[in-house]
Structure 1
């Protein structure tokens, strides 16, 4: 989330390959690539920490990091992304061509199969996309298909209360057509030159016929087309074991025999298990271990550039936070620099934009309300008539190391604004996200975002547009702005990279004035691993490359 067949892509798409310049800063453990992406299997088994996925393991309904980490080993999309997140053609697509950036022809490579031996063909993509887009299915990634002609016909009509009042007009998008087993076409509602870049994301993965026969069973033990296959069912609270798929057609073949993805409710417990050698990989370092991990683990501690963006969402459905001056004031009352130094030992960067530094379009200090200004914050609260006698409830998911910094935010509200706070951090991730979809938060809530594809657009439309309201997307603040959406649309339809970025930045300005979220930090991915394994690498999407990991003396 690699441009080899650049001749197969239109010039406009090539211009939109928004390339990042980041590379691993870790030591010898993960900095070296394997001898060959298609190296022979080395055998053995290793284990990795994950949190509980929100939903069953279906690509169209997975929009969070824990499920994505598993699916990244089970699936390969139409395109892939290289070490600098450049678009490459090591996936299923032979080419994607368009003369107008509206009508696209997608040709697939021969020979790709799912792990049950059935072919990965045009129908497996078209059927998967239609199923994900069909609103009665309630899939989280539905909104990613909203620019395909006919998407609206798959959405159930809504009543005044926002609830469905009937069935959609259709079950298939008219903009998707299977031409032959290796070819399908996509008609978009308007020009979108970045379309090929988006299709490496989880939402666009194919599905085999076995899924449609029994979606519930499939979600427990998915059948994909990637370098690893599900050996066991996913057991809530425990995890899933993946095994090497020897007939994988891609280049990034798995080295180990099996991978145990172990669910932990507390990252501190996982960290202790890596310390004592009973777990092999943790990709989230607890804040209180950040200063000691480098010395303790040596070259088995690594830092990787990341697209991660941490923010506090504001529940705009709560009357208390509907005045933007209140949201601006809360942001101005936070000393991000002090928090990054005291709690993260300088391993986070205070966020002053809603677009991460690793993508083209980022601007330093784009957010005028993201620096400490206690005087102006208090003035804004007074102008808005904010009731300071009632504490602010601060939400975060349990067991992931967020307690200390969210409490620090609360203490700054108390000190700088005279408003007390209550910590609401008792829910595990798989409980926390559904509550956000149900408009259940009573105050600012912690969330993070890592890009799905390398574009500033991915930090805007999938997070803040009305089409991204849950359950179809990730707009958990339920922010709505016609001005913002019009500017994003202009960026989507721009004919040059320069014009697109200009429009996206203007949309970013609207967002940062309205403040439906409070930008907090940009981050690094920090990992530690046991002595049993090597070649632990994390991409800018914060995903560990499971296939690349090698077991020492298996």
Structure 2
């Protein structure tokens, strides 16, 4: 998930509580009053909010997770790596044929919100529907992995996807084009939510979906709000992760994030039973430090997305890895922390690896040991050894205009200048940034600042989207334009490994091997901070992802 853009409403254990005087995340009780009832309001700057699983890129723990179940889901807990656990299925899948075939059995007695039974045919239909061009835009890992997926255009012309078999009402068998050990994670993505067979052809299906989670969409007012009420056919005994506590959940659309934060600080009326889906801005974080009451309702993650400086490895002097290594010492990561949140603790810990904390298989290492402020002398020395005794001139640093990126870019620019690396900053709006950095086949940028939140908690989702050569251009997020056939082969081998421990070792080795080439400079593992009203309880953020788990939130009664 690309986090160069603002992310809202995406995204168990103890509450990671307010950052108070010491500005450090700490643990406090999650709340004793976990009784059902009340109306929870989620304040979001999104102006549209359709619950169409085929079109969704949402995380398993956030908004779509309230209305749609998938074959598997995530169990999130403080101090533990996030696990894949059964959801609609009885287990997390049985692999055969070396990881090319995966079989899932649905739990008995599952029902949709309209009272009809959920069958394997409904799961198959939901998956097939995600291939239809009219319903594109959702996470699509499965589209190239399923045999016959490339070129398939969905079920509405009567054609089936033969690689998804349903031998009976409770069994789904997937035939993949190659072994893939992370398939249990893939089936936790939104497209694996069931849609009643034959339904969902209309463009606005997401405004009135047939649901499988604890809630159903009872009202959809475009640009205003979406109201969820209880699904009377949801069986909590079959659902080990969702609590379904509020009687009603209201998404209030088109809210200005700054105004929302101020309303939640004031904590009056319905806002006492609300939380913001948007991050608290650095300026507001600074203001909250002087407000003890609001600070107690500020929840900050332990870690989060990897923020990094990408070096365009296909451009000019940056084609030389020895030149790129100088950037590892030239960057002042502590200055980036301050530019990100005004405070190092709230911004996030300094990053030295590509695989983010909270993901199984991550190994902690630091190939370029230096002070948080960097070592400009060493950077200049490395540049001289690489044939650039006078440093580098005229490099272009391209950033988006959102998420405080211009200020972050200035911190990078100032640090690089100390190492005789002189850069110009170009700020682009969201569409122009994507056109230049992810789409343009011949971009003119040398450097870019961005961040990446994996779509599921596996090193695969950290590394493949950012460093596989297949992800260069065409909308891919290999912003370093890094291409190494050996790395491509190692990625494919790790993806094909079914044993989780063996796969983790392979991914950790790939992490190190990529960083030896220095296509990016890891900066920080960004922390996210969110505000909630005083009646909101069980507002939890685990080790991964750095978002509140919507499925667990309740209201004091």
Give the TM-score taking structure 1 as reference length.
Answer: 0.77
Which residue number in structure 2 is paired with residue 224 of structure 1? 211
Shift of 1:217: 1.2
Separation (CA, whole Å) in 1 of partners of 2:353 and 2:160: 38
Give runs of aligned pairs for residues 111-150 of structure 1, distance below 5 A. Answer: 111-132=109-130, 139=137, 141-150=139-148
Pairing 1:390–2:394 present: yes
Separation in 1, partners of 2:452, 2:550: 21
Residue of structure 1 in register with 2:42 after alignment: 47
Pick closer, same or farther for the CA change 1:522–1:300 going to 2, 3 Å.
same
2:481 is equivalent to residue 485 of structure 1: no
Where 1:359 maps in the other structure, the secondary structure is: coil
Unaligned stretches of 5+ residues in structure 1: 2-20, 156-169
Q: Which residue is 1:185 aligned to?
A: 173
Residue of structure 1 aligned with 2:285, choices 279, 282, 290: 290
Mean Cα deviation higher: 445-454 or 345-354: 445-454
| RCO higher in structure (CA 8 A, sep ≥6) | 2
CA contact (8 A) 2:334 2:344 kept: no
Superposition map of 1:5-24 within 5 A? 24=15
The offset of 1:284, in angstroms, is 1.9
Distance 1:289 1:52, change over 3 A: same
> Counterpart of 1:97?
94
Alpha-carbon contact 1:469-1:475 (below 8 Å) kept? yes
| Offset of residue 487 of structure 1 | 1.3
2:163 and 2:387 mapped to 1: Cα distance?
Answer: 47
Given that residues 271 and 285 in structure 1 are in contact (C-alpha distance below 8 angstroms), is that contact kept between their aligned partners in structure 2? yes
CA contact (8 A) 2:62 2:551 kept: no
Measure the CA separation in 2 of the matches of 1:213 and 1:506: 45
Which residue is equivalent to 2:308? 311
Would the alpha carbon gap of residues 76 and 521 (structure 1) be closer, same or farther in structure 2, given more than 3 Å must change?
same
Structure 1 pair 50–350 and aligned structure 2 pair: CA distance change class (3 A): farther
SS of residue paired to 2:302 = strand
| 8 Å contact kept, 1:77–1:202 | yes
**Please, which of 152, 164, 180 is the counterpart of residue 176 of structure 1?**
164
Residues 323-345 of structure 1 deviation map (CA, whole Å, 9 limit, x = unaligned): 54554444432111343257333
How far does residue 453 in structure 1 lie from its aligned partner after superposition?
A: 3.1
Aligned to 1:73, what secondary structure does the other structure show? Answer: helix
Correspondence 1:541 to 2:545: yes
Moved more, 533-542 or 321-330: 321-330
SS in 2 for 1:92: coil
Counterpart in the other structure of 1:256: 246
Distance 2:405 2:218 in 1: 33
- Please give the alpha-carbon distance, in whole angstroms, between the structure 1 residues aligned to 2:490 and 2:417: 37
Aligned to 2:439: 438
C-alpha distance after superposition, 1:335-374 (max 9, x if no partner)? 1134325733323111100001222332333443887342
Q: Does 1:74 align with 2:76?
A: no
Q: Which runs of 5+ in 2 are unaligned?
A: 2-11, 19-25
Question: CA contact under 8 A between 1:153 and 1:173: conserved in structure 2?
Answer: no
Q: Is the 8 A contact 1:23 1:305 kept in 2?
A: no
Does residue 296 of structure 2 align to residue 299 of structure 1? yes
- 1:258–1:476 CA distance, 2 compared to 1 (3 A): farther
Q: 1 CA distance for matches of 2:189 and 2:550?
A: 17
2:358 equivalent in structure 1: 358
1:146-192 residue CA offsets vs partner (Å, 9 max, x unmatched):
3333334549xxxxxxxxxxxxxx97554321212221101234444
1:496-526 CA-partner distances (Å, limit 9, x unpaired): 4443222212221232234444322113332
Asked if the contact 1:395–1:443 (Cα under 8 Å) also holds between the matched residues in 2, the reply is no
Given that residues 42 and 256 in structure 1 are in contact (C-alpha distance below 8 angstroms), is that contact kept between their aligned partners in structure 2? yes
Task: Say if 2:312 and 2:479, in contact at 8 Å, map to a contact too.
Answer: yes
Secondary structure at the residue paired with 1:120?
Answer: coil
- Secondary structure of the structure 1 residue equivalent to 2:296: helix
Indicate the residue corresponding to 2:16 in structure 1: 25
| Other-structure match for 2:344 | 345
How much has 1:433 moved relative to structure 2? 5.2
Q: Is the 8 A contact 1:140 1:471 kept in 2?
A: no
Alpha-carbon spacing, 1:254–1:360, altered in 2? closer, same or farther (3 Å) = closer
Contact 2:395 2:447 in 1 (8 A): no
Indicate conservation of the 8 Å contact 2:395/2:422, yes or no: yes
Question: 1:507 aligns to what?
Answer: 510
Does the 8 Å CA contact 1:60/1:142 hold for their aligned counterparts? Answer: no
Does the 8 Å contact 2:141/2:186 carry over to 1? no
- Inter-partner Cα distance in structure 2 for 1:228 and 1:434: 38
User: Using the alignment, how far apart are the partners of 2:32 and 2:474 within structure 1?
Assistant: 39
1:443-481 deviations in whole A, cap 9, x for unaligned?
Answer: 544433333333222211244334556778654555433
Instruction: After TM superposition, give the deviation of residue 303 of structure 1 in Å.
Output: 2.8
- Which of 190, 197, 213 is equivalent to 2:201? 213
Structure 1 residues 467-486: aligned runs within 5 Å: 467-468=470-471, 474-486=477-489
2: CA distance, partners of 1:478 / 1:239: 40
Question: Which shows bigger deviation, 278-287 or 55-64?
Answer: 55-64
Contact 1:315 1:477 in 2 (8 A): yes
Return the alpha-carbon distance in structure 2 between the equivalents of residues 472 and 544 of structure 1. 28
Deviates more, 1:484-493 or 1:123-132: 123-132
Match for residue 164 of structure 1? none
> 2: CA distance between counterparts of 1:308 and 1:203?
23
Q: Which moved more, 1:362-371 or 1:98-107?
A: 362-371
Cα separation, 1, equivalents of 2:523 and 2:140: 28
